[in-house]
Every structure is written in structure tokens, then in C-alpha cells.
Structure 1
Amino acid sequence: MPKAVWNGTVIAESDDTVVVERNHYFPRAAVREDILRESDTHTVCPWKGTASYYSLELDGIRSPDAVWYYPEPKPDAAMIRDRVAFWKDVQVVD
């Protein structure tokens, strides 16, 4: 079962991930809410749409913009609605 691990802590786990461009998109409900912090960062993907970000924060450690999601994905990316993906210092393992 895919897990997202940050600083030795499992922050998301689900057997219902969608893989797009080699990134596992986890159901939003599978992510620990207590470590997510809203971010003002946004980026644009030509085919997925505008991405929003969360930073991670736990025990005084912070990872800015380590989580992204598409609140309103374009039609071709509808499969990632209500899902998040990870990068930077977050490892996704099976």
C-alpha cells in the first residue's frame, strides 16, 4: 500500500492512489490534517490546470509547499480531483 513518509512519519497511506506523471495522488481524506498548512503558492500545468499547495509542519520542522493539489482540475485531469501529491523531502513508498 503506498505511503507518503516525511521525516520518518507516515503522513498519508492509501491503496487508492492515482499515478499521473510518476506521482501518486492520494485521496485527500488519507492525509494527516494536523500537519498541513495552507500556502499562497500556485503553479499552472497546461493540461491539469492551476495547482495549489500546502506546507508541512510537525514538531517545529517545516517543509514549504511539499504538497500540491488541483482544486479545479481540467477535464483531462478529472481523475486527480480531491487528491494530493507530494514532493521535495516527502518519500512515497509502496
Structure 2
Amino acid sequence: MTKAIWNGVVIAESDDTVLMDGNHYFPAEALKREYTSFSNHRSSSDKGQAQYLSLFVNGEFNPDAVWFYAEPTESAAAIRGRYAFWKGVQIQD
């Protein structure tokens, strides 16, 4: 089971992640939404336009720590509807 952990709390866990460019992309149902909040941040890459979510866990805020591609390019279709993490979020396999 792969887990995404930040500030001592499991944010997502699944045995169905997609590994792309060194990042584990978790299915939408694996993300614990009670720890996420809206973000206006966007960025673009060869995978398409990434949208972000922020984390709020145990009184700590981690802006734009979660990203996803709502409409990825054809070459990145495997990560549609999946979420990846950075900014201090630890991934444990």
C-alpha cells in the first residue's frame, strides 16, 4: 500500500498508484478530502495544465501541495483523475 503522509497524517493511500516521472499519482477516491482546500494555482507542462489543492492538517497549512490534471494530454492519459504530492509530503511504498 502506497501512502502520502504530511504532518503526521495519511493524506492518501492506495495499492493502485500510477508512477510517472518519479511521482506516484493516487486515484481520486484515495485522497482524504477533509485535509484539502481550494487553490487558484495552475501550471503547465507536457502533461497539460495542472491544477492544485492545498493541505490543512493539524493546524498547519501547506499551499499548493497537491496537483492533478483534469484534462491531461494523450501521452499522460493514465493520470487523468489522479493526484500527486510535493512540498514535504512523504511517499511511502
Regarding TM over 0.5, the answer is yes
What letter matches 1:92 in structure 2? I
Cα distance in structure 2, aligned partners of 1:77 and 1:33: 24
Cα distance in structure 1, aligned partners of 2:17 and 2:58: 27
What is the RMSD of the two structures over their aligned residues, measured on CA atoms?
A: 0.7
Q: Which moved more, 1:21-30 or 1:58-67?
A: 58-67
1:1-94 paired onto structure 2 within 5 Å: 1-45=1-45, 47-94=46-93
Alignment gaps of 5+ in structure 2: none
Runs of 4+ in 1 over 6 A off after TM superposition: none
What letter matches 2:15 in structure 1? D
Aligned residues: 93
Normalised by the length of structure 2, the TM-score is 0.97
Normalised by the length of structure 1, the TM-score is 0.96
Q: Give % identity.
A: 53
What letter matches 2:65 in structure 1? A
Alignment gaps of 5+ in structure 1: none
Shift of 1:60: 1.8
